Amino acid sequence: MDKVEILGALGLGPDTPAEWEPVGEMSGSPVRLFVPGEPPSEYLVREPADAEAAANQLAVSEALLRAEYPFMPRVCGISGQALIEEAVPGASALQLVPPAGSAEAAIHALAALHALPLREGLDWGRSPLDLFPPVEAPLHRLGFSSAEREPALAPLSEAEDHLRASAFGFAHRDCTAANVLLAPGRAWLCDFSAAGFGPRLFDVAGFLLTSGIEAAGRRALAAAYAKEAGLAADDTADEVDLLGIVWGIRWLLELPRKLITSLGDDVMTEGLKLAAGRVERGIRQPAGDSPVAAAIRAALWPARA
């Protein structure tokens, strides 16, 4: 990041006193910028190391600004590929227990995001089948025996059919707890570097599973999302639970790569491990009444059937 250019994008001179603090230790981690004054100002500068992700974040953020989407940190400036946001008074569910009303606010923010008539971000030229082709998941990599894998194949294939038939459109596509900032009664979505065309219920399932919310709470919040989105509450809660298993297995299969990428960044590594434990526990716990989900759980975790 060019610090002089970033200060200039904020209308500040090159000699402005400022404190710069990386939020993580990986290349491309956000940087917190604090400018003393009356009153002091605090910003978060995001510039992903991947050029496509950085460009996508800028394009999506600008589209959200034009749409006057209110549930994201205020954009204060752009410098090259760096997005400069106002720091918000919130923290992720990986840092704290969701404060009162904050999970409900996050669901409201997601429903509002999905309601936007936007065609911005990645993969708009692809179909659900292109994004999620029928491929047998390598469950052996998660430690499942052949006796567990074999009876799970048919219901998992059916679950993938549910995924491809679910509502696709503009979605965050990386809506884990790390990318949802919470405060009492409030929530902000952040990091739109992966946003674009995708399955909207994956956003809901990803947030609920990685936030450590228990099964009954996940069902209630999925039903709340359904109400805001104009969907049937019980059917949607069942579908979020089922697709949560699909999302969770995919996320856990990607975990080794994510951990290798985060080597040297202790905060990110610990966050991934915490999220992994929550995902593994959450996908075992029924938060819906889908018979397909019940069949998957009976096959993979027979002790809980």
* CATH number for the domain harbouring residue 197: 3.90.1200.10
Whether residue 163 lies inside any domain: the answer is yes
Q: Tell me the pLDDT band of 38, cut-offs 50, 70 and 90.
A: confident
Residues in the chain: 305
φ/ψ of 288, rounded to 5, equals -165, 180
**The pLDDT of residue 277 is above 70:** yes
Task: Using the 3D structure, point to which of 35, 61, 86 is the last residue of a domain.
Answer: 86
**Per-residue pLDDT at 184:** 98
φ/ψ of 97, rounded to 5, equals -70, 130
CA distance linking residue 186 with residue 284, whole number of Å: 29
CATH of the domain at 79: 3.30.200
Q: Are 124 and 210 in contact (CB under 8 A)?
A: no
Same domain, yes or no, for 79 and 157?
Answer: no
Same domain, yes or no, for 79 and 106?
Answer: no
Percent of the chain exceeding pLDDT 70 equals 99
Question: How large is the average pLDDT for residues 243-258?
Answer: 97
Report the number of distinct structural domains present in the chain.
Answer: 2
Domain around 41 = 3-86
Same domain, yes or no, for 114 and 66?
Answer: no
**Per-residue pLDDT at 304:** 53
CA distance linking residue 200 with residue 184, whole number of Å: 25
Same domain, yes or no, for 71 and 174?
Answer: no
Q: Tell me the pLDDT band of 247, cut-offs 50, 70 and 90.
A: very high
**The pLDDT of residue 305 is above 60:** no
Same domain, yes or no, for 166 and 288?
Answer: yes
Predicted TM-score of the model (pTM): 0.96
Same domain, yes or no, for 129 and 70?
Answer: no
Whether residue 273 lies inside any domain: the answer is yes
Whether residue 94 lies inside any domain: the answer is no
**Per-residue pLDDT at 24:** 86
What integer best gives the mean pLDDT of the chain? Answer: 96
Question: How large is the average pLDDT for residues 200-229?
Answer: 98
Question: How large is the average pLDDT for residues 233-262?
Answer: 97
Whether residue 92 lies inside any domain: the answer is no
Same domain, yes or no, for 177 and 52?
Answer: no
CA distance linking residue 127 with residue 148, whole number of Å: 31
Same domain, yes or no, for 28 and 113?
Answer: no
Q: Are 107 and 225 in contact (CB under 8 A)?
A: yes
Same domain, yes or no, for 252 and 182?
Answer: yes
